[in-house]
Amino acid sequence: METIIAAALIAVGIVVAAVLYMRTHNPGAPAAAAAAVAAERDSATAAALQAALTERSAALERREEALAKREAELTQERDTLSTGRLEVERSLERLAGMSGAKAKEMLLQEIEEQARHDAARRIRQIEEETKRDAERRVRNILSVAMQRLAAGHAAETTVSVVQLAADDMKGRIIGREGRNIRALENLTGVDFIIDDTPGAVVLSGFDGVRREIARLTLEKLLQDGRIHPARIEEMYYQTKSEMESRIVELGEQGVFDAGVQGVHPELVKLLGRLRFRTSYGQNVLAHSVEVAQLSAMIAHELGASAKTARRAALLHDIGKSVTHEIEGPHALVGGDLARKYGESAAVAHAMEAHHNEVEPQTIEAVIVQAADALSGARPGARGESLEQYVKRLRDLEQIATRHTGVDKVYAM
């Protein structure tokens, strides 16, 4: 490249010298000389550029040949490596006695089994931790709800007692040839038991409303002093009319105590009837109000709908007020009544599910179920048999004797 450039410069110098010579010896032709110089200069420049391009093209061709040679070498090396890899795999297959696909399948299977085992162990650990936390929280919520709720003990039975001012009133209640007591029993549907018990008449019946009407009727007759079949019938119907109003008042009071609003009047009336219904000695209306309060507390703790839980809990046993009129479990009967009188589907479902007649589908249904069991299971809520009472005393004695230094324990 440098040689070509030097030759071009020498040629340009010769041309310039010739032009100068022409100017010196032929001053009359300067224009022609200048044109000749320019033409020679352009020709020399073009020749130089052509030579440079030719050299550059040759260099590129040499580089391309080198790259092609390198590519061929790399292809040959890759083929050699692939052949060697195949030979290694065949050697490993012969030594292991299985194909590569089989070995891959076994490896994947082992990895999957290990992953399943680790996942199962982790899941079991999480379940145990969740169970411990849930049990701890449940105990805390229930203990808080029980401490906040102060409720009375069971004092309800299936009998009522009317006190008499004197024992000679028993004869007047019985009447001539028993006509007065027969009239009372026929009208009220309640058994009047007059025995040797001093100063008392016992009224026995499973229908609390009938028993209450009979009690009020007898008390009015004793106050009036005129006891005969006509007067008995008059007092009975008067008391029955007053009892309807009394039932509505009791229902309204129960709704107010439970903190529920907007209950249909027919449901209020049915709630009032529960005041005269007992379950294992526990007054059903008082139980319903208690369950409503417990359900609201538990719902607040769990972040559920306290309004739905409270409403469903108050109405959960309302089917018991009509079980002698409508066949079926009281929970399902109560759910049908709730729907009939405009209660929401969530409330009706929680009522139906509190004894597992239907599967609980909402957290409020589970809350009502738990609160119902809690209200019935607390000490003093329901009457106990003698065997259960003795067993509880024995358990208390055994718990006390576990302490160091305690020799004898007597639970009374």
Chain mean position to CA 114:
32
CATH code of residue 194: 3.30.1370.10
For residue 323, is it within any domain?
A: yes
pLDDT value of residue 348: 92
Structure tokens at 397: 């004695």
301 and 226 in a single domain? The answer is: no
Chain mean position to CA 245:
42
CATH code of residue 298: 1.10.3210.10
pLDDT value of residue 156: 47
pLDDT tens digits, one per residue of 52-98? 888 888 888 888 889 998 999 898 888 888 888 888 777 777 766 66
b/e map 175-189, b = 16+ CB within 10 Å: beeeebbebbbebbe
DSSP letter at 196?
A: S
217 and 300 in a single domain? The answer is: no
280 and 368 in a single domain? The answer is: yes
The answer to whether the beta carbons of residues 252 and 289 sit under 8 Å apart is no
- Which H or E element spans position 231? helix 229-258
For residue 326, is it within any domain?
A: yes
- Give start and end residues of each alpha helix (H) in 149-228: 169-174, 179-188, 208-224
For residue 260, is it within any domain?
A: no
For residue 205, is it within any domain?
A: yes
307 and 232 in a single domain? The answer is: no
Rg (CA), the chain: 54
240 and 280 in a single domain? The answer is: no
Domain hosting residue 356, numbered range: 274-377
pLDDT value of residue 22: 59
235 and 295 in a single domain? The answer is: no
Q: Which residues contact 364 (CB under 8 A, 6 or more apart)?
A: 295, 299, 304, 305, 308, 309, 312, 346, 350
For residue 66, is it within any domain?
A: yes
For residue 341, is it within any domain?
A: yes
pLDDT tens digits, one per residue of 336-380? 999 999 999 999 999 999 888 888 888 899 899 888 888 777 655
What span, in angstroms and rounded, lies between the C-alpha atoms of 215 and 193?
12
For residue 148, is it within any domain?
A: no
Structure tokens at 91: 């050697």
370 and 314 in a single domain? The answer is: yes
pLDDT value of residue 143: 57
Chain mean position to CA 409:
46
372 and 278 in a single domain? The answer is: yes
184 and 278 in a single domain? The answer is: no
243 and 287 in a single domain? The answer is: no
Structure tokens at 32: 């022609």
Number of domains comprising the chain: 3
Residue stretches of the chain with pLDDT short of 50: 150, 152-156
pLDDT value of residue 103: 72
372 and 313 in a single domain? The answer is: yes
pLDDT value of residue 267: 92
pTM of the model: 0.56
368 and 280 in a single domain? The answer is: yes
Of the residues 79, 96, 116, the one at which a domain ends: 79
pLDDT value of residue 346: 92
For residue 107, is it within any domain?
A: no
